């Protein structure tokens, strides 16, 4: 079995967005209940999300936020009610509470 590490990804988050920007790359993100979030998509859409997260680890950004009503909105279906906020710990900007 082969696992992928963030060390295997050489692309930036923006390059991942460019690579996967086609009409078939769509995620549905919804709250299912008090304890579950649905992240749904075809294989290409989930591959986009995986690569986006791995590229973010290497980018050095504080956080990433894609959501259906803002940045990254093209990657969401009309059924999406929520976006995805990604933040690495420990915080890269030295916030002591993170």
At 31-68, the pLDDT tens digits run 999 999 999 999 999 999 999 999 999 988 889 899 99
Burial 40-60 (b: 16+ CB within 10 A, else e): ebeeebeebbebbbbbbeebe
**Among 24, 61, 66, which Cα is nearest to 44's?**
24
Regarding pTM above 0.95, the answer is no
Q: What is the C-alpha to C-alpha distance for residues 83 and 79, in angstroms, rounded to an integer? A: 11
User: What pLDDT, on the 0 to 100 scale, is given for residue 98?
Assistant: 47
Average pLDDT over residues 9-14: 92
- Res. 19: pLDDT tops 90: yes
CA-nearest of 47, 10, 6 to 27 is: 47
pLDDT of residue 94: 73
- Averaged pLDDT of the chain: 91
């Amino acid at each position: 079995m082969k696992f992928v590490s963030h060390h295997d990804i050489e692309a930036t988050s923006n390059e991942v967005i460019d690579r996967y920007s086609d009409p078939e790359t769509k995620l549905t993100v919804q709250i299912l209940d008090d304890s579950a979030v649905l992240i749904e998509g075809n294989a290409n859409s989930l591959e986009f999300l995986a690569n986006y997260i791995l590229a973010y680890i290497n980018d050095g950004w504080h956080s990433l936020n894609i959501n259906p009503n803002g940045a990254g909105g093209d990657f969401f279906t009309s059924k999406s009610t929520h976006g995805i906020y990604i933040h690495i710990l420990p915080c890269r900007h030295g916030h002591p509470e993170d």
